[in-house]
Amino acid sequence: MPICPAPVRPLDPAAAAELTTAAAKLLAEHGSATSPELLAALPEACDRLGAPVRQALRPVDTADGLFVLRGLHLDNTELGPTPGHWSTVGDAGALWDVVLLLVSALMGTPIAWDGQQEGRFVHNIVPSPGHESEQTGASSGVLLTPHTEDAFHPGRAHLLLLCCMRNHDNIATTAASIRRTALARADVEQLKRPVVPILPDDAYDEAQQFAGRPAPVPTLFDTSEGPTMRFDPAYTPMDEADTEWRGAYRRLEDELARVSVAVSLEPGDVLVVDNDIVVHGRVPFTARYDGTDRWLKRASVRITGRPTRPAAEADEHGYGQAALLAFS
């Protein structure tokens, strides 16, 4: 059993069967996990799910800022080999795309991006040849630096969901909550200042070509629920910041490293991360490209009206990237 030092919410066999049966029914009715009609049908399908499923998928409710939904079982032999690139996945694991969409829709509204993985609402995260050293999900040989998902964008997800298809080598996802840190108040005040921007990551080619001036953003901000965070050091131009801010940022990095946990997922597990509280990453590994490598499916969820971000974010241009909603 992979070690998982994170809250685990068990899904009993009846609830797991209900969720996968609902997903299979939607897939059979609409023919494809990417069908607009399937996306539009998600809210009604969620309304039919019972209380045990809803209880397991209640909001993140601890300072850890995450939990693992466990109890879904995946047949490795039916899945097929791990693809070498997201664009070659086709319909492989389509049932689990729909399971993940149902889980997402129970918690909010699934979102996608025009400029990433062809606007799909479920992304496939696999190691890809030639991308080993990038700071993207396609990398393998380097530490994926802890970061807020899509930190460059004001419309980024409130929740990030990672569903494990395959993880023979027990490769860990790392996670660290701002609410577990013990940062000095002076450093917090420094990092509440909007000093430098966060630039688009390498998964967004069009956004990186955007001609608009990058807007400085705060790293930390206070809410009625506690501190929240917007953090991506790999795409933050540190040399544009003043000495005091850089020192505070380094101490935040150290604190996040101190409280970081390693979550090793097993097939069928769904890791739910509060993207306003927790930064996530991945330990390095050696990809084999033989069809047995680690394979995750990823979904992003927006929660309407959630008061966890500064009002000033509404004025950001988002580098021209448009978020797509699965349903209205």
pLDDT of 4 reads 53
Is 278 in a helix, a strand, or coil? strand
More confident residue, 4 or 265: 265
Quote the mean pLDDT of the chain: 94
Residues 244-295 pLDDT 10s? 999 999 999 999 999 999 999 999 999 999 999 999 999 999 999 999 999 9
b (16+ CB within 10 A) / e for 134-158: bbebbbbeeebbbbbbbbbbbbbbb
Percent of the chain clearing pLDDT 70 (strictly above): 98
pLDDT of 2 reads 41
What one-character DSSP code corresponds to residue 225?
A: T
254 — alpha (psi -120 to 50), left (phi > 0) or beta? alpha
- Of 227, 274, 219, give the one whose Cα is nearest residue 252: 219
Residues 184-212 pLDDT 10s? 999 999 999 999 999 999 888 888 999 88
| Token pair listed for 320 | 């021209």
Q: Among 63-67, 70-74, 208-212, name the one with the lowest average pLDDT.
A: 208-212
Is 15 in a helix, a strand, or coil? helix
Residue 78 has pLDDT above 90, yes or no: no
pLDDT of 1 reads 36
